[in-house]
Chain A
Amino acid sequence: MSSNGKHRFAMYWAASCGGCDIAVLNLHEKIAEVADAFEIVFWPCAMDTKYADVEALPDGSIDLTFFSGSIRNDENLHLAKLLRRTSKILVAFGSCASEGCIPGLANFSTVDDMLTTAFETPSTENPLHLRPVPRWAAPEGEIRIPTLAPVVRTLDQVVDIDYTIPGCPPESARIAEVVDLAIAAFAGRAELPPKGSVIGAGTSTVCDQCARQRDVKKIAAFTRIQATAYLDPALCLLEQGIPCSGPATRDGCGALCPVAGAPCIGCYGPSDGVVDQGARLLSAFSSVIDAREPGDIERILDGLPDPLGTFYRFGLARSILRASRPAFASSGVEPPVIARAPEPARAGAAGGTDR
């Protein structure tokens, strides 16, 4: 707590798109409550504090830190460790920090692949095949840029974390609930949830919040959304053959995408008790497909032309797969392990549906 009696808050963005910060700004009028309740000591998006100031802070002197973005380079890693040391409560905020998000799909490529692709595109003029290098001897002196890590890692893969707020980005209404909870808890009016909890979200699945009707109908094939002449606006998208991540994805968004006619893409991560979102989704899909002959399976799989992207769109970096073998070659990063111990199952909460 600071000298003025306010609790100290920080927010940081590592390798991220900035959408998490915009989601916080989209608290709109409520942002004033945050400013009233907290002394904001570090928030690059919204105020001016330096690394050196944070480095000078005693251990645990920030009461609450929201950390968005994944760990993509050595600088991200440094800030993760620094904020762990200086924060009492460190929250993995948003999909990049908690699951790896879309940029985690890079874990099926090596850094060399990434650089070669980016610096040899059709519009790039690069006859010498130059690549950015961490240390460059410019004529005037050496200049440096951070070193890319071999794989994208989530915050909890590099430091101990206290809570996770899922979502890409977390919905502003859910963030508001967490802010209210934090204010109440710091004032002694509420208890903080147990360490390791997922907060700012539900415990069940997107399906449970989805207004679309489910008839528990089996499907004969998956179809691509642009190829369907008509989609019933009231009926479950999965039952209409559209691969939808709702059955394996935590609720919290209010099923925004399915309600808007687009399939859930899984941005809120796995629901309670699920170790691996992709494996869970695979099992959910298996339970709705109507296959009798081996040929049926081939045909049905043809409807899923990108299994990796379908099942691990947001969760690859955090999944039991984590990365491809080439990405780990010469990486110095620990090989894949089961990243998350199963959480205790709660009655009626493990998925909330048979899918």
Chain B
Amino acid sequence: MTRLTIDPVTRLEGHAKIEIFLDDTGEVERTYFQVPELRGFERFCVGRPVEEMPSLTGRICGVCPEAHHMAAAKAADAVYGVTPPRPARLLREALYSAFFVTDHATHFYALGGPDFFVGPDAPVAERNILGVLQRVGAEAGARVIGARKAGHHVIEMIGGRAIHPCTSIPGGLTKGITEAQRSEIEAIGHSMVDFAEFSIGVFDSLVMGDPAYRDAILGDIYRDETYYMGLVDANGKANFYDGRVRIVAPDGERLGEYDPADYPDWISERVEPWTYLKFPYLKRVGWKGFVDGKDSGVYCATPLSRLNAADGMATPKAQAEYERFFATLAPANGGPKRMVHQRLATHWARLVEMLYAAERLVELASDPEIASDNFRVVPTATPTEGVGTVEAPRGTLTHHYWTDERGILTKVNLIVGTTNNYAPMCMSIERAARSLIHRGQVVSEGILNRIEMAFRAYDPCFGCATHSLPGHMPLEVTLRDAAGDVVDVIRRDG
């Protein structure tokens, strides 16, 4: 048997590695996508006071600490059975909306963007954020930097710090905002709406307007028909901060909708001994292996899945874009709901979400109550157990805490955004490998790019940090014979 080792040589080498085994005829037998890191948060958070969890678990991921901060804050509220006052809810969701715009901008321009803007066949040296900025122009580049800066400014105003916010506690926040800050956040929200619309325009002209990219998005190499998960509000519209978890089947039929606290009835995690990450799947459907379809419990939780799961977006401009997204990518099929299965469409879905988050930030900042001093209540119940769930940019994020009567943690369970997508990512990688490797023949650049593109659409965040700013991973494919001897090394140089 022949082995191909795709060994990313950056941090990704330390945090994600792909092994491809070929059978005797040179066709792909099996791929393994390994995550080789574990830091043990579920273990060492035991013994800590529950009010520290929003700060402690932020350190799971410095790219999306806001997601852990919020999931932890909501779980800590639940542990005490306390509902924060409305202004606290507005503040937290405003921070979260600013974070979503910022994080999606980082991915769209710096991580995923180079695949499209610069092109998979461009020289590697240009396939990075600088190449993107050249393509979209200096003025647009300044807008990208400006949008990220403004986003972090809002996060710091409400969260106390730009990275690893510190203000959410059980029952609300440690501080509110002033009227001047409210007004500033509202203005930033408006500028973010403009920025999101601008970004959609960029995507339309440079990606959808290019026949080759359009074909790549609509083609089958990146198509997997799995279940989809996403939080929805009382009207069935997508929500990032709160709601019920909805799961839809590949054909659009609804499998169910549940309160996040009921996740143990819906989700199980499978263990494989060759990786430090687990594989969540839908308990009611069951684990059938790394396969798609309605009989397989594999699901995905991404911007694409959230759009597939929801009935629409709660703000007008995002709703219009949501409708255009499905009209373009999923012709009406007479089924219960239009569904988009092409994984590369996740990039467009991300922009629909960015527009929603920006509009939502304006709504929240326009609410005069957000600047109220009523940002906290004192919990009075005896702490016990609680679940907090938000949509992280990379998928539904769940924190589940058990405490003693003092609010000291006795058990912790975390199902992190990217983890939801581990199985579908493995499948997308294997599909890309199968489509590109035949009779032992490997197209060196092609396979490197396309395997990356396959899982970059998920914006994976292993060890919550496989972000490679150039938008591509440096890769090295080692071709070995059955005895393990190196036959060939294919490298993509920087």
Report A's interface with B, CB cutoff 8 A.
12-23, 25-26, 28-29, 44-53, 72-73, 75-76, 79, 101-103, 105-106, 108-109, 113-115, 117-119, 121-126, 130-133, 136, 138-141, 143, 145-146, 148, 168-169, 172, 224-229, 231, 233, 253, 256-257, 259-262, 265, 267, 305-306, 308-309, 313
Residue B263 at the chain A interface, CB threshold 8 Å = yes
A172 CA to B162 CA in the complex, in Å? 9
Establish whether residues A226 and B379, one from each chain, have CB atoms under 8 Å apart when the complex forms: yes
Residues of A within 8 A of B63 (CB): 17-19, 22
Q: Given A29-B145, A124-B269, A145-B275, are A140 and B14 also a contact pair (CB < 8 Å)?
A: no
Query: Number of A-B pairs whose CB atoms are under 8 Å?
Result: 285
B407 touches A145 (CB 8 A): no
For this complex, 18 residue pairs linking A to B, each with C-beta atoms less than 8 Å apart, are: A18-B467, A19-B164, A22-B163, A25-B469, A44-B12, A44-B468, A45-B468, A47-B469, A48-B493, A50-B491, A109-B44, A118-B42, A123-B264, A131-B271, A132-B276, A145-B17, A145-B274, A169-B62
In the bound complex, residues from chain B placing their C-beta under 8 Å from that of A146 are 14, 36-37
Q: Are the CB atoms of A45 and B51 closer together than 8 Å? A: no
Give the shortest distance, in Å, between A30 (CB) and chain B (any CB).
Answer: 10
Contact partner, B44, options A23, A108, A119, Cβ 8 Å = A108
Is B350 interfacial (CB-CB < 8 Å)?
no
Bound-complex Cα distance A260 to B406 (A): 25
Chain B residues positioned under 8 Å from A117 (CB to CB): 40, 42-43, 46
B residues in contact with A118, CB < 8 Å: 38, 40, 42-43, 278
Let me know if B36 and A140 touch, CB within 8 A.
no
For A52, the closest partner residue in chain B by CB is B9
- B378: CB under 8 A from chain A? yes
Identify which of B34, B55, B269 contacts A143 (C-beta below 8 A): B34
Q: How far is the CA of A13 from the CA of B19 in the complex (A)?
A: 23
B459 contacts partner chain A, Cβ-Cβ < 8 Å: no
Smallest CB–CB gap between A150 and chain B, Å?
Answer: 12
Given known A28-B145, A146-B36, A257-B160, contact A141–B128 (CB-CB < 8 A) = no
Contact B51 A226 (CB under 8 A): yes
Evaluate contact between A109 and B160: CB separation under 8 angstroms: no
Contacts A29-B145, A48-B128, A50-B491 aside, 10 further interface pairs with beta carbons under 8 A come to: A19-B63, A21-B467, A75-B14, A105-B44, A106-B40, A121-B413, A143-B274, A145-B275, A262-B169, A309-B52
By a CB distance below 8 angstroms, the chain B residues around A22 are: 62-63, 163
Residue in chain A with minimal CB distance to B176? A261
- B259-285 residues with Cβ-Cβ distance < 8 A to A are 263-264, 267-276, 278, 280
**B10 lies within 8 A of A103 (CB):** no
B12 nearest CB neighbor, chain A only:
A44
Give chain B residues whose Cβ lies under 8 Å from the Cβ of A145: 17, 34-36, 274-276
A269 CA to B170 CA, complexed, in Å? 26
- Give the shortest distance, in Å, between B109 (CB) and chain A (any CB): 12
Q: Which residues of B contact A140 (CB under 8 A)?
A: 1, 3, 21, 29-30
Q: Which chain B residue lies CB-closest to A110?
A: B43
Q: Give CA–CA (A49, B472) in the complex, Å.
A: 11
Q: How far is the CB of B157 from the nearest CB of chain A, in Å?
A: 9
CB of B208 within 8 A of chain A?
A: no
Q: List B residues at the A interface (Cβ < 8 Å).
A: 1, 3, 9-14, 17, 19, 21, 29-30, 32, 34-44, 46-49, 51-52, 55-56, 59-63, 65, 80, 124, 128-129, 145, 148-149, 152, 159-164, 166-167, 169-171, 173-175, 263-264, 267-276, 278, 280, 287, 378-379, 400, 406-408, 411, 413, 415, 463-465, 467-470, 472-474, 476, 484, 491-494
Asked if A106 meets B44 with Cβ closer than 8 Å, knowing A19-B59, A226-B169, the reply is yes
Complex contact B378–A130 (CB within 8 A): no
Q: Return the contact of A130 from the options B271, B470, B493 (Cβ within 8 A).
A: B271
**A314 nearest CB across to chain B (Å):** 9
How far does the Cβ of B471 sit from chain A's closest Cβ, in whole Å?
A: 10
Distance (Å) between the CB of B83 and the closest chain A CB? 13
Contacts of A123 in B (CB 8 A): 263-264, 267-269, 280, 413, 415
Task: Give Cα A305–Cα B383 distance, bound, in whole angstroms.
Answer: 14
Which residues on B sit within 8 Å (CB–CB) of A256? Answer: 160-161, 166
**CB atoms of A122 and B169 under 8 A apart:** no
Complex Cα spacing A20 to B163, Å: 9
Q: Name the A residues within 8 Å of B274 (CB-CB).
A: 132-133, 136, 138, 143, 145
B165 CB → nearest A CB, Å: 9
| Residues in A neighbouring B378, C-beta threshold 8 A | 226-229
- Closest Cβ neighbor of A104 among chain B residues: B44
A16 with B62, Cβ < 8 A, contacts A115-B38, A260-B174 known = yes
Q: When chains A and B are docked, how far (Å) is the Cα of A262 from the Cα of B52?
A: 10
Contacts of A17 in B (CB 8 A): 59-63, 65, 463-465
Select from chain A the residue with minimum beta-carbon distance to B413.
A121
Q: Do A47 and B379 touch (CB < 8 A)?
A: no
Q: Is the CB of B160 within 8 A of A259?
A: yes
Q: Is the CB of A125 within 8 A of B269?
A: yes
**Within the complex, what minimum Cβ distance (angstroms) separates B35 from chain A?**
8
Q: How far is the CA of A265 from the CA of B46 in the complex (A)?
A: 18
Collect the chain A residues with CB atoms within 8 Å of residue B484's CB: 141
Chain B residues with CB below 8 A from A231, complex form: 174
A224 to B271, Cβ gap below 8 A?
no
